[in-house]
Structure 1
């Protein structure tokens, strides 16, 4: 808990002076004012994160992906066996899964972390921070202890800080865990006060006739555990998952170290909701990558007051949205650094003369 408390206390608001300087710089770049829209907003936000209007081109980037299994799988909330978590996580480090392929295409490094998968055998290339082999069944009691919830978050902080020491300037988050849309939907239900049936979705291929059962399991878990929606750690412990806790830790750790975090889809929204309860200032450090195709996605983003960069009708997870958004962030930075300036080009003299003639 000491690490979590220390990190949370060291999260400060974005540097407004740097944001204003970045906006002034954009206003001097040769283009109609604000015509590059979100690209301008992204770089101004990043200036506030870094505390400087000087942003390096193509900063070193990685996606930290956490893997964890879930006891609630026993309730029949997923059509797939839990073995899929481990089998697919091997593909995070060999470049064969969706996020790994997108990351490799865009020169983004993958950092894979076993935080709670079933199975004791290590996977080559995967960091072993296993808390234990999956959470408990949240439909019968808490998913984990409060101590394990804090431990999951602190693992995320530790891995984030390792990456920051290694020179990463933009960090994305991702995950894998069969059944993890169930705890994510539970977290959103608790935080929003909405009944699970209003926001539950298929996840990874659940038949439509099973949706009511999935919603019933989530509702039962919430009723049994009665998590306090204002206490992010309690919500994580009672109806969350280890990989969700790991992503919470990355968000908090990066915010305390003034590093932007590119969040992914629905599961990462649940992590952001918990991070917001722990320290609301942490949300200022997040760049939402895409609008997840999951049913509750828009509600979660509305609570977080976030507008994602992309809408690609994706719901893969893994960090795939973060991998797609990072090249757009690179493009925004490159334009910011390399466009000509009105103050340094003949067109600027012409426009100033023209506006003077027009009495502006």
Structure 2
């Protein structure tokens, strides 16, 4: 790994530019080279996995929107009408829409899917249970969701993807995310936010439900146990995908607060996951930054976004790709017959 870093730094320093002048783009290139084990790295195929599932805690009235919105938004994405469709289409990402546990009947087999989208039927259950009243998942369901996530990591490799993004879709998923993180040791006041825009009274109610859920479930500070007692099918599947990328040479860009909570569960299971993770953006949700900080991840952009769906992740991932393109396409000093390549100027 150290050898790859040295080679990548030397490659960047030989390009026709002052040393270090591409700033963080150079850091992203170095990390990509370490992930892929090649100098320079490449980004030729990208896919954003958007995980949809329903959360039992929604029945406690912690969101402005009813649960049927989850299903409706899955159909909206598959028909090309969501924010992620616009942003992924504009930056060259394929969308892989994953049903991890949406409430209701299975989606019909003849479902119309727009070009640029793939639909993956991976549901573990018909929405998870209400963690305010009982464990969200059974141990068997947790293992199944983690395993299905690892199947999707292999799917990414089979598709020949160099970089993936992860997005989320599910009513009340910020409540599930906050509960998991509080159980993991984060301060509840730093984790509970307005989500879809609830008022002060509803925010206090949400805080109470989350606090009591964590207390009642009494989970050990263990990523798998927290996913089982307070998590959801989609969060466990996201964690499994992240864990399953180990050794596959595929970088992963995570989106906002819900995805980052799932990534943190993966981090608790295997702290090495930070080596192949990038934080696509800094969400406007207040709890996002402390969790990224704990994993040592620096967000690529800060656009005050809080949409989810992988929208912030594809923007951040596009910036990584631009850095990689610069590293691959810029001429070296010798190739361009430009003087100054031997000058040992100071980086700043």
Superposition TM-score tier, normalisation by shorter sequence: over 0.9
Specify the alignment match of 2:116 in structure 1. Answer: none
Which shows bigger deviation, 124-133 or 65-74?
Answer: 124-133
Distance 1:345 1:175 in 2: 45
- The structural deviation recorded for 1:242 is 1.1
Distance 1:343 1:208 in 2: 62
Specify the alignment match of 1:45 in structure 2. Answer: 31
Specify the alignment match of 1:119 in structure 2. Answer: 104
Q: 1:117 to 1:18 in 2, by over 3 A?
A: same
Deviations 1:240-261 (A, max 9, x none): 1111111111211122312100
Distance 1:272 1:113 in 2: 17
Q: 1:351 to 1:337 in 2, by over 3 A?
A: closer
Give the conservation status (yes or no) of the 8 Å contact 1:95–1:104: no
In the TM superposition, structure 1's runs of 4+ consecutive aligned residues that sit over 4 Å from their partners are none
Give the conservation status (yes or no) of the 8 Å contact 1:222–1:239: yes
1:77 aligns with 2:68: no
Specify the alignment match of 1:8 in structure 2. Answer: none
- Count of aligned pairs between the two proteins: 336
Give the conservation status (yes or no) of the 8 Å contact 2:274–2:297: no
Q: 1:345 to 1:293 in 2, by over 3 A?
A: same
Specify the alignment match of 2:305 in structure 1. Answer: 314
Distance 2:186 2:41 in 1: 40
Distance 1:324 1:243 in 2: 22
Specify the alignment match of 1:291 in structure 2. Answer: 282
Give the conservation status (yes or no) of the 8 Å contact 1:116–1:132: yes
Specify the alignment match of 1:276 in structure 2. Answer: 267
Which shows bigger deviation, 200-209 or 36-45?
Answer: 200-209
| Structure in which a larger fraction of residues adopt helix | 1
Specify the alignment match of 2:321 in structure 1. Answer: 330
Deviations 1:258-310 (A, max 9, x none): 21001111111101110111111111100110001001111111111111100
1:23 aligns with 2:15: no
TM-score by length of 2: 0.93
RMSD of aligned Cα (Å)? 1.5
Q: 1:87 to 1:192 in 2, by over 3 A?
A: same
- Match of residue 63, structure 1, among 44, 48, 52: 48
1:129 aligns with 2:114: no
Distance 2:186 2:336 in 1: 56
1:191 aligns with 2:191: no
- Match of residue 149, structure 2, among 153, 156, 168: 156
Distance 1:160 1:93 in 2: 21
Give the conservation status (yes or no) of the 8 Å contact 1:18–1:48: yes
Distance 1:208 1:336 in 2: 48
Give the conservation status (yes or no) of the 8 Å contact 2:279–2:298: yes
Secondary structure of the equivalent of 2:59? helix
Which shows bigger deviation, 185-194 or 113-122?
Answer: 185-194
TM-score by length of 1: 0.90
Specify the alignment match of 1:4 in structure 2. Answer: none
Deviations 1:119-146 (A, max 9, x none): 1131524221111111111011211112
Specify the alignment match of 2:218 in structure 1. Answer: 226
Give the conservation status (yes or no) of the 8 Å contact 2:29–2:323: yes
Q: 1:249 to 1:256 in 2, by over 3 A?
A: farther
Q: Point out where structure 2 has 5 or more consecutive residues left out of the alignment.
A: 114-118
Deviations 1:120-178 (A, max 9, x none): 13152422111111111101121111221121111111122112112111111011010
